[in-house]
Structure 1
Amino acid sequence: MGKKILVVLGHSDGGSFCAALAGNYIAAAQTAGHEVRFLRLADLVFDPVLHQGYKKIQELEPGLLEAQQDIKWAEHLCFVYPIWWGGMPALLKGFLDRVLLPGFAFKFSPDSNFQEKLLKGRTAHLLVTMDTPAWYFKWVYRMSPVAQMEITTLAFCGIKPLKSLMFGPVLSSQPGQRERWLLQTRALAARI
């Protein structure tokens, strides 16, 4: 029996290599018998700014309400995004800030210093592009933006990161290298 998968594209350009990765992941997952929903953040209309932090929750726009329903529906998520200026794009960060709310993704109880993880039972893959060599990103930059997503975002809410693939440098990559990265992506999706 296939899984319910939500693929989230955090790149604003629908013609990007991230979009190609997302498309290949979706195709391979569907071929493997999974049910897939696709969320292209650039298509959503929402304010990415938390104007009052979490002191007062802003009313969610319709696209964000639908995104929350898709996250609840999903058993597995795949986030596809680039590293820009050493972090995830503002579009993706704003989406996470607005959607992974207290009461939806986690909650604190008055008698504990630790959160209750409300999205337990879900898993995730990350497909991350960059213009830095992946080895340099890992050993010099210590993969901090990936760790942020895996540990302090997904795991904080109960989503278990299974695998993160990092592709780079994309800017100077040749078509053969990009095709190998797409094959890696398809193989990952086929193994869910």
Structure 2
Amino acid sequence: MRTLIVFNHPYDGSYCNAILQSVQKGLRKAQHEIDLIHLDKDDFNPVMSSDDLLAFINREPVDPKVLEYKSRLEKSDHLVFIFPIWWELMPALTKGFIDKVLFPGLAYQYKENGLGMKPLLHHLKSVSVVTTMNTPGIVYRFLFGNAIKKSLLRGTFWKMGYKNRKWISLNMVKMVSEEKRKKWLVKIESKFAKLN
């Protein structure tokens, strides 16, 4: 199995980086081939230019990074996103990846009647999202409307027709004990060791 990880955090000492290490350990135990896209180190431009938008309409990407990511995505059996939640949503680089790489003709196509979409990455077995935030889960869910679930898991991947979607939300990361953070990492490693 080949797992593509899309990682977004600019600070090497972040808890997101610790999560990345745990995910990779688990995947290695499951004997997965790992392909890591580190958006912060890749010089990826998340801004959709007029040329990018025209390419989106014509279904022919022009950004060399998008073409590279497209090729890597097409070879993947599993897709994992790891990022912090800032101001209730994903950082700009993750949003740019979604906007520019999940192209019609690559990740999905519109149904013949124009009502809805169908997935094109037929080999893609699952999409997992692992996030960190400092907001309590209940507050994020009821006050802020579970924005990541609505925008990424439902509004993007469910909409495109990908059925196996999972979200691991780690809340109040700065407030919990070091012991709890270590337990989370062990659980994450174990979870990804069972991915098949």
TM over 0.5: yes
Q: Where does residue 14 of structure 2 map in the other structure?
A: 16
The verdict on how the C-alpha distance between 1:61 and 1:54 changes in structure 2, with shifts beyond 3 A counting, is closer
Could you tell me which of 134, 137, 145 is aligned with 1:134?
A: 137
**1:47 and 2:50 equivalent?**
no
Distance in 2, Cα, partners of 1:183 & 1:20: 11
Measured after TM superposition, the shift of residue 61 of structure 1 is: 3.2
Report the AA paired with residue 193 of structure 2.
Answer: A
Residue identity matched to 1:94: G
Provide structure 2 residue ranges, at least 5 long, that are not aligned to the other structure.
none
The alpha carbon displacement at 1:39 in A equals: 1.0
What is the CA-CA distance between 1:157 and the residue it aligns to? 3.0
Equivalent of 1:75 in 74, 77, 86: 77
Q: CA deviation at 1:89?
A: 0.5
Tell me the residue number matched to 1:30: 28
CA distance in 1, matches of 2:81, 2:108: 19
1:54 CA drift (Å): 7.1
When structure 1 is superposed on structure 2, of 175-184 and 42-51 the one drifting more is: 42-51
Unaligned runs of 5+ in 1: none
Is the Cα contact below 8 Å between 1:46 and 1:61 reproduced in 2? no
State the percentage of identical aligned residues: 27
CA distance in 2, matches of 1:85, 1:121: 33
What is the DSSP-based 3-state SS (H/G/I as helix, E as strand, rest coil) of the residue aligned with 1:116? strand
Matches within 5 A, 1:1-192: 3-52=1-50, 56-57=54-55, 59-108=61-110, 111-122=113-124, 123-192=126-195
CA distance 1:101–1:145, change in 2 (3 Å): same
What is the distance in 2 between the residues matched to 1:28 and 1:53? Answer: 40
- Deviation of the 1:118 alpha carbon: 1.4
Q: Which moves more between the two structures, 124-133 or 37-46?
A: 37-46
CA contact (8 A) 1:131 1:169 kept: yes
Q: How many pairs does the alignment contain?
A: 190
Q: 1:167 to 1:32 in 2, by over 3 A?
A: same
2:117 and 2:161 in contact (8 A); partners too? no
Whichever residue aligns with residue 97 of structure 2, its letter is F
